[in-house]
Amino acid sequence: MNDREETWKENYGIQWLVIGVFVGLLNMALLGRWEFFYAIPYAEGFIGLGAILIRKEAGMVGSASVAFLGMLSVLVSTGMIDPFTVSLAGVVLLVLAALNIGPKTSVAKYLTLAALGAWTVWAFVYFIDRIQYGLPIPFETLLYHGGVFGLSGFDFVTMLGHWKGRGTFVVRTAFAIAIIIGAIMLVGLRHWGLQAMPIP
């Protein structure tokens, strides 16, 4: 692995960490509301990605934990798993990622492709659901979910080696800014927009 790849990987993880910490802190504004617990798994999932991707060599167990956490976080939005349960499990999985346990290898972080793929599908399905139910797509939703779709999808194809062009940092930063601005607007105007979702 050359120096350029190492630098890119470091920036790659830092942005997910910033997004995760920001979403977690922003969510404190909803403390005491039922929507509060839904955002915790998302913040944990973003932080977990950053914790692994920022490393030059990640532990297999930690990487697998983050991949599992990412998929659990996405399942919360489907109503298949209780968000409080995932929040508690997320604490354990984040500890495993932070300890970086397991055999250390540069290949381990590619296990997080499962989480990146899950986040991409999550955002895509969100838009499909709103279109299917004839619901509008507010600007803040377009920023937040569109940003997650763009960043996770872009990172997914980049890690697979399908994007080697210049401007990677600029593109990723643009998506990250969209996520942060969208999150601020969603919390301020719609309490994450959860009450506006259709109930099957």
Over the stretch 138-158, which tens digit does the pLDDT of each residue have? 899 999 999 999 999 999 998
Whole-prediction pTM value? 0.86
Q: Tell me the domain boundaries of the chain.
A: 3-196
- Separation between Cα atoms, residue 43 and residue 87, nearest integer Å: 9
Helix (H) or strand (E) holding 149: helix 139-159
pLDDT score for 71: 87
- Interatomic CA distance for residues 179 and 195, integer angstroms: 20
- The pLDDT value given to residue 130: 86
**Cα separation of 59 and 64, whole Å?**
9
Q: Which amino acid is at 116?
A: L
